[in-house]
Amino acid sequence: MLLHYLRLEPEKLRAAMKKRGAKVDIDELIRLDKQVSILLQELGKLNEQKNIAAKNRDIKTGAKLKKESEKLIAKLRPLQQRQFDLEGEVPNVPLSEVHAGGEDDAKPLGKPVGKLPKIKEPKDHIELGTALDILDVERGAKVAGSRFYYLKNQAVELEFALINFVGKILHDKGFRFLLGPQLLSEKAMMAGGYLGKARDEVYKTQDGLYLIGTSEQSMLAYHLDEIIEVPQRYASFSTCFRREAGSYGKDVKGIIRTHQFDKIEMFSFVAPEESEGEHRLMVAIEEEILKKLEIPYRKMLLAAGDLSMASAKTIDLESWIPSQRRYRETHSCSNCTDWQADRAHIRFKNLRDKNEYVHTLNGTAIAIGRILVALLENHQQKDGSIRIPRALQPYCGFKEIKAK
């Protein structure tokens, strides 16, 4: 798709990068594409001549052509590497409905959903969790540093309940479950665009593998270099690891922004004409989960400058956090069109029986840490206990969490 823009619609690509606020040298990419194309054509002609010489058993001509090919390859390789490096910096083209702007320019989609709880002086999740002996941030920091924590007692039971509760919803919606590697190769991470500008967010091991920041990375890689049938819908539970390198000073207190958390993610591979509808479906599932958990939320369309490298359109769901008296993101859902599939080489047979790149989409089903914050704070009662939403009670076996 990038080559299409470079060769046929370079001005559209320039406009898209300007909309995103991305600094991409389009002219250099066009120049490299032309140079590499010319050299590949020359190499192809030399190979044809070498084949003819081999058939004619013309050893002298064959040796001469081999040297010419080696010189051409030596000239070609650094250009291809430069081209590869630059292409890795080009983010996805935003869909037409995505507006320009940055992190603070998200637009609400409709009105907020759900009634805000009437709590005169809401306690935050740390005070609530510490008093109920279900959360220990201090010991987490003692053994691993800031942005780590222990869940204890009924909070642990609540996590398992949430996993089973969401798992049942996704099973009924036709999602198939995967448990994949939480360490991936550089090829797998590069394919999804997770080592571009976000490289500083990723933990790398001494063996050259990368800890996943979300199971969408592992699910995308599941069909790396394959031709598949569509649609394919997956859901995966994983522990997620993020360095949070660009968030110094933000949400240091509590468990909203941490280096390690558990999450269930949705991931879909679909035909291009189905991706818009799939995006609506996944957002609707996220909304269903929040409604059943009785958490007030609002739906936001992210601006182009706040999209991830791979995303062409992202919708966030922000849950109400009483102690902060504002909405905070707990769910995100992105349509990545064919950007990841192009890099990961994942295709399907279209109606014309031609190989075509799939569209990929990812969406949060539930991020345990953030949803626990919303649950504890929205369902806190005057005596400091926590009311469990009715839909969740069958999965945890208790109706409230009380101080012992």
Active site residues: 242, 257, 329, 332, 370
Q: What are phi and psi of 392, to 5 degrees?
A: -95, -20
CA atoms of 123 and 374, how far apart (whole Å): 12
CA atoms of 403 and 383, how far apart (whole Å): 9
Would residue 277 be called left, alpha or beta, if left means φ above 0 and alpha means ψ between -120 and 50 degrees? alpha
Closest CA to 319 of 265, 390, 371: 371
CA atoms of 127 and 377, how far apart (whole Å): 10
CB 110 within 8 Å of CB 22? no
CA atoms of 305 and 244, how far apart (whole Å): 19
CA atoms of 134 and 151, how far apart (whole Å): 6
CA distances to 132, 139, 373, 375 from 126, rounded to whole Å, are 10, 13, 9, 12
In angstroms, how far is CA 270 from the centroid of its own chain? 16
CB 128 within 8 Å of CB 158? no
Closest CA to 299 of 278, 281, 277, 284: 284
Amino acid at 127: E
Specify the pairing of strand 260-270 against strand 297-301: unpaired
> Which residues, in sequence order, are CB contacts of 54 under 8 Å at separation 6+?
62
